[in-house]
Amino acid sequence: MNEYTYPILFGIIVGTSMRLLMLRTDYRQYPTYLHGKVIHISLGFIAASLGTFAVPSIMEKEFTAVTFLTLAASQFREVRNMERNTMNGLDEFELVPRGKTYIEGIAVAFEGRNYLVIITSLLTTLVYLAVNIWAAAATAVVLYLISKKLMTGSTLKDIVNIKYVKPHFDGAGLYVDNIYIMNIGLPDRQEEVLKYGMGFVLEPKNFNVRSTIANLGQRQAILHDVSVTLGVFRDSGTPALVPLIKRDLDDGRIGVFILPQDQDIDRAIKAIGAVPVLENAIRMPSETRPEMEGKN
Amino acid sequence: MNIEKSILAAVTTDHSRDRVGGGMPIFYCETQEELEMVAANLEAIIDGIAHALSKDLYVIVKH
């Protein structure tokens, strides 16, 4: 026991619990069970230790010790690789895959959360040593609130209006509103599709949103999330029963065609509205000003 | 280059053979019912989708 024991313990505990709080089994359905969680809690513990130990090292004038933070960076980049590989592997066997954009987004979030843990541990330990335990606890709470704010992106209901439209056939062409989805030839299949299919039109609220919801990764994420929430009427070897999203080129609306097991319209609208806007799909054409180019 | 979609078979009731041809298997059927049955079976067997080009011509496409 020395003067650093309690600050270090405090920092590690705060950091690890921070990771625990951020590790929810949520709409992403990942990680689900104990083994996946154990991995992330352990990594969170390591991150917390790294952040915590940096402070006493500096105070003892062991400046080289700080270099192991760089080790942490490469370590957690590895976490991102690990997550990406696992999810890519699993994605092949999903009835409705997540898509690469979504996977990349989740992997980035996992990496980012570990850095948040490092920062939290580092700052709380610093405050504990510089002031006292109560100030450190307050810092922890403030940091938790900040990271919670940082880690929540917007959802689809913030950027689009969602409207239910019953899908219909024009000849062999399946339509949601006036958006062509696909060609289904067999009358039996058509009946199935009309019986189980639901259509939604997502109307962008502004110009920037058009490109965001047009992103194929974002569209796949919508299909995946809705299928996870409402179930999916589909099996291997039935390629005709595939949920699809197509775009109206005229005005950027997208037509969502899904085959849910749960035919509850309100729930479906809520599920679509809760789909996260993928970081990697966000486009902001209006932020680009061609006339400004070359003047900076 | 990857070919993602390809027509695996055509099913038709049109017997004027100069209108349907090419390098894929072509199944000639007598009636609309037979056409639909053959198309449905082919769809199930080869995991493709039966698309209707017209009332009497279906193609099975692998996606």
Would you write out chain B's pLDDT as a tens digit for each of its 63 residues?
677 788 888 888 887 766 666 788 888 889 989 998 999 899 888 888 899 988 888 999 887
The complex scores an ipTM of 0.81
Let me know if residue A72 belongs to a domain: yes
pLDDT at A291: 63
B40 contacts on A by Cβ (under 8 Å): 186, 188-189
Check whether residue A161 and residue A43 sit in a common domain: no
Closest CA to A280 of A84, A31, A47: A84
Q: How many structural domains comprise chain B?
A: 1
Residue B54: C-alpha distances to residues A82, A127, A178, A191 (Å): 49, 75, 21, 18
Bridge partners (DSSP) listed for residue B57: B12, B54
Answer for the pair A114, A47: CB distance below 8 angstroms, yes or no.
yes
Let me know if residue B48 belongs to a domain: yes
Check whether residue A126 and residue A214 sit in a common domain: no
Residue-wise pLDDT for A158-199, tens only, equals 889 999 999 999 988 999 999 999 999 888 889 989 999 999
Judged by CB atoms closer than 8 Å, whether chains meet at B50 and A237 is answered as no
Let me know if residue A296 belongs to a domain: no
Judged by CB atoms closer than 8 Å, whether chains meet at A188 and B40 is answered as yes
Check whether residue A182 and residue A55 sit in a common domain: no
Nearest CA in chain A to B59: A185
Judged by CB atoms closer than 8 Å, whether chains meet at B50 and A185 is answered as yes
Check whether residue A172 and residue A56 sit in a common domain: no
Bridge partners (DSSP) listed for residue A180: A175
Judged by CB atoms closer than 8 Å, whether chains meet at A171 and B47 is answered as no
pLDDT at A185: 87
Q: Which residue has the tokens 């979504």?
A: A102
- Give chain A as a DSSP string: --TTHHHHHHHHHHHHHHHHHH----TT--S-SHHHHHHHHHHHHHHHHHHHHHHHHHHTT-GGGGGHHHHHHHHHHHHHHHHHHHHHHHHTT-SS---HHHHHHHHHHHHHHHHHHHHHHHHHHHHHHHS-HHHHHHHHHHHHHHHHHHH---BHHHHEEEEEE--EEETTEEEETTEEEEE---HHHHHHHHHH-EEEEEEESSHHHHHHHH-HHHHHHHHHHHHHHH-----TT-TTS--EEEE-TTT--EEEEE--SS--HHHHHHHHHTSBPPGGG---GGG--GGGTT--
- Classify residue B51 as exposed, middle or buried by CB count within 10 Å of its CB (0-12, 13-18, 19+): buried
Judged by CB atoms closer than 8 Å, whether chains meet at B40 and A186 is answered as yes
* DSSP letter assigned to residue B55: T
Q: How many structural domains comprise chain A?
A: 2
Check whether residue A139 and residue A215 sit in a common domain: no
A188 has a chain B CB within 8 A of its CB: yes
Let me know if residue A289 belongs to a domain: no
Contact map slice: B 6-45 vs A, CB within 8 A:
36, 39-40, 43-44
Q: In chain B, where do the E strands start and end?
A: 6-12, 26-28, 49-54, 57-62
Let me know if residue B1 belongs to a domain: no
Sequence-ordered list of residues with C-beta below 8 angstroms from that of A149, at least 6 positions apart, any chain: none
Let me know if residue A279 belongs to a domain: yes
Let me know if residue B31 belongs to a domain: yes
Residue A129's domain comprises: 5-152
Residue B55's domain comprises: 6-62
Let me know if residue B20 belongs to a domain: yes
Low-confidence ranges of chain A (pLDDT < 50): none
Q: Which residue has the tokens 């053959």?
A: B38
pLDDT at A292: 61
Closest CA to A151 of A110, A119, A123, A122: A110
A183 contacts on B by Cβ (under 8 Å): 49, 51-52
Judged by CB atoms closer than 8 Å, whether chains meet at A185 and B47 is answered as no
Check whether residue A191 and residue A272 sit in a common domain: yes
Distance from CA of A95 to the nearest CA of B (A): 14
Distance from CA of A223 to the nearest CA of B (A): 18
Judged by CB atoms closer than 8 Å, whether chains meet at A239 and B49 is answered as yes
pLDDT at A179: 92
A235 has a chain B CB within 8 A of its CB: no
